[in-house]
Amino acid sequence: MTHILTLTRRAVLAAAAGLAFALAAPAPSFAAAKIQHLISPGGIEAWFVQDSTVPLIAMEYAFTGGATQDPAGKAGVANMVASTIDEGSGDLDSKAFHERLDRRAIELSFSATRDYFRGSLRMLKDNKDEAFELLRMALTSAHLDEPDVERIRSQIMSNLRRDTTNPSALAGKKFMELAFGDHPYARQASGTLESVPAITTADMRDYIRRVLAKETLKVAVVGDVDPATLGKLLDQTFGGLPAKAELTPVPDVIAAKPPQRAFVPLDVPQTVITFGGPGLARHDPKFMAAYVVNHVLGGGGLSSRLYHEVREKRGLAYSVYEALVWMDHSALFIGNTGTRADRAGDTVEALTREVKRIADEGPTQQELDEAKSYLKGSQMLQLDTSSKLAGAMLQYQLDKLPIDYIEKRNAIVDAVTLEDTKEMAKRLWGQGLLTVIVGRAPQAAAQPAGAPAAAPATKTE
């Protein structure tokens, strides 16, 4: 689920424009914003917050599908589409298309996660007509010309080759394979060195035809535009898409049962450890209790138990984190840390011991109170820009939360009890961990970097 961002001239111009906006007016707070449910004349639905603090409009949107809709043996199609769909469309070639974006400081981007094909659009109010028209062109008449496709393919292949020597990338890849086996979630959204060369333009056009449809579209907009104007823009942009998607069904799956451990040999001085296990679905009634107790264990940055035990108390790692991850058809908790090769065993032992301790005992009342206080206060910072609010509003729709969730969230946090968190701690971490270790083999850990390493194979315990 990792996306590599490339800084382009277009991004530099847009960032400069964004800075100008920020300096022009005081930063608004959107945490208490009233979200409207807008339906365009053509039936396009959106969650919308009208705000004229700055002359800016931000839109986030998503189509259900994502990388799970990649054909068998061709992982990476969705990622290829997201990377090339703005490389020329309509009567504009790639150069002319991006020059139009640059000239108006329009930010337009696409990405593919496991479950969704997502897009983002940000512009000055005065440039809204051109921005939405360029988006319409990209979605409905992308050229996918061979020179552009091959250039993007070459970039993706270069990133994939780099990942073969990146311990964090290898750990993440192996963890998903360990957790999900032959389920589509185990596949890399960016594809593989074997699958990406086999992707054809026909595969990409078929993906666009099957996935980009109004049926599964979710939209969130924040900015200086009135509802009637926005409704027309949404119809002009998305109205020409197919009404129905043709998605391949994706089964629900529970991640592999812990404890399990895998080792990936790699001759690097620092060992990377990725750990996790089955998580909690976002629609589970006890999800907020799990979210709060997870903050205590590994989501609280410098205040988390894992940070205290692994870094502060034992000096085993510079940083360590752990988070809940939920998808449409499964859920995980997943964490990561890095340590010296000769201290990998001690680090895994410390992680395992601390996870067992919170599973057995749960958090203290003081930890619970501090976690609640942080999670309630931090919401203001998480929603302090139009782009952040639009992103949050889109995610709430994808998670099937009510439109007034922002208003209710702090009360939901407050309602979590100590017993709730103890129950969730046992449920999440009581079985132990799925652990992936990437680094030098134990017998080679004391050798200097560059010494002969074990063969590049994996071992699962």
Per-residue model confidence as pLDDT tens digits over 5-33 = 333 333 333 333 333 333 333 344 555 56
Per-residue model confidence as pLDDT tens digits over 274-306 = 999 999 999 999 999 999 999 999 987 778 999
* Residue linked to tokens 């692994």: 310
Q: Strand pairing of 218-223 and 45-50?
A: parallel
Looking at residue 270, the DSSP 8-state letter turns out to be E
**Gyration radius from the chain CA atoms:** 23
Per-residue model confidence as pLDDT tens digits over 239-279 = 999 999 999 999 999 999 999 999 999 999 899 999 999 99
Find all residues with CB under 8 Å of 397, minimum gap 6, and list them. 47, 218, 220
Per-residue model confidence as pLDDT tens digits over 120-157 = 999 999 999 999 999 999 999 999 999 999 999 999 99
Q: Strand pairing of 260-265 and 320-326?
A: unpaired
Per-residue model confidence as pLDDT tens digits over 158-189 = 999 999 999 999 999 999 999 999 999 999 99
Sketch out the chain's domains with CATH numbers. 9-15+29-238 (3.30.830.10), 260-460 (3.30.830.10)
CB environment 279-300: b (16+ within 10 A), e (fewer): bbbbeeeebbbbbbbbbbbbbb
- In sequence order, the β-bridge partners of residue 218 are 62
The pLDDT score that the predictor gives to residue 32 is 57
- Confidence category of residue 443, pLDDT binned at 50, 70, 90: low
CA 424-426-432 angle, 5° bins? 125
DSSP state letters, 295-336:
IIIIISGGGSHHIIIIIIIT---S-EEEEEEE-SS-EEEEEE
Find all residues with CB under 8 Å of 346, minimum gap 6, and list them. 314, 316, 339
Least confident of 36-50, 269-283, 293-307, 446-460: 446-460
Torsion of CA 383, 386, 390, 391, to 10 degrees: -60
What is the distance between the alpha carbons of residues 385 and 376, in angstroms, rounded to a whole number?
17
